[in-house]
Amino acid sequence: MLALTAKALYTPLEKIDGPLVLIDEGSVLKLGPQAGSETPPRCRIRDFGDCILAPGFVDMHTHGAAGYDLMGGDPDGQTAVNTFLVRHGVTSYFPTTVTAPMDKTLAALEHLADAIESEKDARTGQAQPIGIHIEGPFLSHTRRGMHPPENLQKPSLAAFEKLWQAARGHIRVMTIAPELDGALEVIADATKRGVCVSIGHSDADLDQARKGVSAGARHATHTFNAMRPLDHRVPGIIAEVLTNPKVSAEVIVDGIHVHPSVVQLLAKAKGVESTVLVTDATAATGMPDGRYYLGLVEIEVKNGMCLHGGTLAGSVLTLDRAVRNLMDFAQWDLQQAVRAAGLNPAKTTRAQNKGFLQVGADADLVVLNSKGEVQATVVKGVISQ
């Protein structure tokens, strides 16, 4: 049994001063103020002093890190990514595919399903993949970004079934352009299977976006990026994302993908309940400038920007940096910002026992100083620094 103490704890909805967290067999056994609480005998105690305990971060959109792309199927690469992410406060994540030839995509889904199943009950102290996010192939040619046009497909139930079977049911998020022929049927089918359908890489007008939401979509992929721009007379997809309280919105807060003032606009529109921080990180994350791969596409990284043919292609952002940037750009406090990196993505993806600290939840925590810098991470009760 392990006991954690610190200056404060964010559940994140509630702040507890001088907390005591008891952990047993990877789960939270007891949580509350330390004052008046007894620590069981033979319990290991770890005091984090003036630090703050918060739910571990959940990244629902990441392609890789530490020199490895998650579609590569390399076990060593998977371990390197898991190790890198946990150093930045991420305890759970959704490895994300990019558009590729169908056979390559199906093989990648099988490898990712293997990783999820093999690590489900592991207690290694590393970040754990808990579901797959498929970004493509059902995307708009007009707003495809770096996704290869020759591999984009018209949405169909048959194509989605192939993806679903290869992933052995581990698809938890799907990005799709709702205006495409066949998209509404696929959205409805995926929603019935428990998938968080996310509208993105889309040139949808307002009516098309609303039809996608009515069919079951409830999230937006890297809001503002790879979307029809907001127009005050023909508002399009972004107006639906910003005004519909049923739609959560992910945003890449690196200061490159979205201007800080527009991040502030999104944060005000979606609020602390529906703003979701993601990284859209690539293999280049944590690495020096150079050339890397995003799926099968070569990208060039220079001065913090990932580019393919002059188009932004992912990022080198880490989720802890995104938390600090959100505090700066939107003038949110740390308690609000960690919610956007933990509870909100967990709620959006319906990840069980993640993103909220309570009795019975997984003992996934991030230990932060007052600036939001990671001091340690706890995954299922195993401390990693």
Residue 385 — very low, low, confident or very high, per pLDDT cuts 50/70/90?
confident
Residue 273 — very low, low, confident or very high, per pLDDT cuts 50/70/90?
very high
Residue 41 — very low, low, confident or very high, per pLDDT cuts 50/70/90?
confident
In a domain? residue 361: no
In a domain? residue 362: no
pLDDT attached to residue 36: 80
pLDDT attached to residue 120: 84
Question: Which amino acid is residue 196, in one-letter code?
Answer: C
Q: Do 106 and 11 lie in a common domain?
A: no
Q: Using one digit for the tens of pLDDT, what is the confidence trace for 216-253?
A: 999 999 999 999 999 999 999 999 999 999 999 999 99
Q: Tell me how far CA of residue 217 lies from CA of 109, 160, 211, 225, in angstroms.
A: 22, 15, 9, 18
* Residue 173: closest CA among 221, 141, 102, 126: 221
Q: Do 193 and 297 lie in a common domain?
A: yes
Region 128-147: what's the mean pLDDT?
A: 97
Secondary structure class of 174 (helix, strand, coil): strand
Count CB-CB contacts under 10 A for residue 24: 14
For the chain, the average pLDDT equals 97
Tokens standing for residue 135: 């970004």
In a domain? residue 137: yes
pLDDT at 122 over 90: no
In a domain? residue 191: yes
Q: Do 225 and 242 lie in a common domain?
A: yes
pLDDT attached to residue 12: 98
3-state DSSP helix/strand/coil % of the chain, to nearest 5: 30, 30, 40
Tokens standing for residue 230: 């907001």
pLDDT at 52 over 80: yes
Count the domains in the chain.
Answer: 2
- What is the DSSP pairing of strand 68-69 with strand 90-97? unpaired
Tokens standing for residue 243: 């005004």
Q: Do 6 and 140 lie in a common domain?
A: no
Q: Provide the percentage of residues in the chain whose pLDDT is more than 70.
A: 100
CB contact at 8 A, 180 and 155: yes
Q: Using one digit for the tens of pLDDT, what is the confidence trace for 279-328?
A: 999 999 999 999 999 999 999 999 999 999 999 999 999 999 999 999 99
Give the relative orientation of helices 260-274 and 236-243 as an angle to the nearest 10 degrees: 40
- pTM of this structure: 0.97
In a domain? residue 27: yes
Region 322-340: what's the mean pLDDT?
A: 98
Identified catalytic residue from 189, 203, 280, 320: 280
Q: Do 28 and 156 lie in a common domain?
A: no
Q: Provide the percentage of residues in the chain whose pLDDT is more than 90.
A: 96
Residue 40 — very low, low, confident or very high, per pLDDT cuts 50/70/90?
confident
Q: Using one digit for the tens of pLDDT, what is the confidence trace for 143-185?
A: 999 999 999 999 999 999 999 999 999 999 999 999 999 999 9
By residue range, what is the domain housing residue 38? Answer: 2-52+374-384
Q: Do 152 and 255 lie in a common domain?
A: yes
> Is 121 annotated in the active site?
no
